Amino acid sequence: MKLNQVTLPVRNMKVVVAFYQTLGFELIVDTPHYARFYCADGEATFSLALEDKLFNNGVTLYFEVEMLDETVLQLKQKGIQFIQDPVDQPYLWREAVLCDPSGNKLKLYWAGENRVNPPWRVTAAKGK
């Protein structure tokens, strides 16, 4: 299977759409209740759905960025606020943390080879 997209709930579509455009994502669907973005690096998409009820989705969306520290600095210069600046994690990823205007948690990270091949990767048993 190939993951198609993840949809995040939002409170104010215009404000959140502008936020993701500032991060550099390409808006490909724009309606008052739904928006969809294209991630040019990797060709994935994600979407936003207007939610009029209170929500706390508990999801963290990860975006891989090779030049993480430079990207975080550039985004800060555009007014994006981070909860955590880039930090090396014990699981061998470097991560920065922020939230979109609706409170959805995002992590910008770089893991290199450790993204899919960490030292503790599980190997499939032979014959199965």
How high is the pLDDT of residue 4? 86
Output the pTM of the full model: 0.90
How high is the pLDDT of residue 2? 83
* Interatomic CA distance for residues 91 and 89, integer angstroms: 5
Q: pLDDT by residue (tens digit) across 10-23?
A: 999 999 999 999 99
How high is the pLDDT of residue 38? 95
pLDDT beneath 70: ranges in the chain = 124-128
Q: What structural domains and CATH numbers belong to the chain?
A: 7-115 (3.10.180.10)
Question: What sign results for the dihedral spanned by CA atoms 74, 76, 79, 84?
Answer: positive
